[in-house]
Amino acid sequence: MRVLIATAVLLAAAFVDGCASRRGALRHDAALRREILAMCEVDQKVRQGFGSRMSAETVAEMQAVDARHTSRMRAIVAEHGWPGRSLVGDDGSHAAWLLVQHADSAFMAQCLPLMEGAVAAGQAFGKDYVYLLDRVRMQQGKAQIYGTQFTIAADGRLVLHPIKDAEHVDERRRMVGLPTMAEQERVMHEVYR
C-alpha cells in the first residue's frame, strides 16, 4: 500500500505544470546546463557498445569518465542541491540524473531524497527518479519497485533484479509512464544480444 501511495505522489508531481519550484523560481544557469549536457555527451559516447563484450580498456575509460563526472556532480549538488529544471532546463535535469545513475552507490543514495524533493516540486522527472530509486535499492541488496534494473550474468545474459510485489509492477509502471515489464524485457534483450 505504501508503494502505491508513494507512486501516486510521484505521478502527480511528475505532471506538475511549469518549471518553477513552489518555493520560488530558481535562476537559470545556462553555463551549468551546457556543462552538464557536455558531461552527458561524453558519458554516452564512452558507453557506445556497452555490454559483456566490452574490452578492459573501454571499461577502464568508462570508469575514469564516471569518476570525473561524479566528482563534478558532487560539487554541483553541494552548491545547488538537485540541479532542477528551473536551474538547468529539462534536458539539463535529465542529464544530471543520467550522470548520477553512473556514479558510486553512496552518491546515488545521497541524491535520491534530493531528487524525490525535486520531483515533488516539479523540478525533476518522475520517470528518472524511479530508475534511480530502483538502482539504489538494487545496490543496497533490496528488491526494486519498478523493474527498471537488470544485471549481466557471467554468460552475458540479462537478468532482471528481483522486484518487490512483482504481481503489481505493471500497475506501478503504468502510473509513471513506463511500458509493461514484458515490453521492457523485450527491448532490453534486443539491445543486449
Shared domain check, 154 and 129: no
Domain encompassing residue 164: 143-193
Is residue 26 over pLDDT 70? no
Cβ atoms of residues 125 and 139 within 8 Å:
no
Same domain, 118 and 148: no
Same domain, 44 and 92: yes
* Segment among 77-86, 95-104, 155-164 with least mean pLDDT: 155-164
At 187, the pLDDT band (50, 70, 90 cuts) reads: confident
Tell me the average pLDDT across 135-157: 91
CA 102-108-114 angle, to 5 degrees, is 130
- Give the confidence band of 190 by pLDDT, cuts at 50, 70, 90: confident
C-alpha cell at 122: 516539479
Q: Give the chain's mean pLDDT.
A: 85
Question: What pLDDT score does 193 carry?
Answer: 59
Alpha-carbon distance values, 172 to 88, 101, 118, 140, 161 (Å)? 29, 21, 20, 21, 16
Domain count, the chain: 2
Looking at the structure, tell me whether residues 36 and 106 fall in a common domain. yes
**Does a structural domain hold residue 92?**
yes
Alpha helices in the chain (DSSP H): 2-14, 30-46, 56-80, 85-101, 105-120, 126-139, 169-175, 181-191
4 inside domain: no
Residue 179 has pLDDT above 50, yes or no: yes
Quote the CA–CA distance of 185 and 149 in Å, as a whole number: 10
C-alpha to C-alpha distance for 28 and 111, rounded to whole angstroms: 21
Residues 96 and 62 reside in one and the same domain: yes
**What's the CA gap between 54 and 47, in Å, rounded?**
9
Per-residue confidence (pLDDT) for residue 13, from 0 to 100:
39
Residue found under cell 552538464 = 36
Residues 127 and 189 reside in one and the same domain: no
In a domain, 178, yes or no: yes
Q: In the predicted model, is pLDDT for residue 23 greater than 60?
A: no
Residue pair 73/100 in contact by the 8 Å Cβ criterion: yes
Kindly state whether residues 57 and 124 are assigned to the same domain: yes
In a domain, 8, yes or no: no
pLDDT digits (tens, 9 = 90+) for 100-122: 999 999 999 999 999 999 999 99
56 and 134 together in one domain: yes
Condensed to tens digits (0 to 9), the pLDDT of residues 33-92 reads 999 999 999 999 988 877 667 788 888 999 999 999 999 999 999 999 999 999 999 999
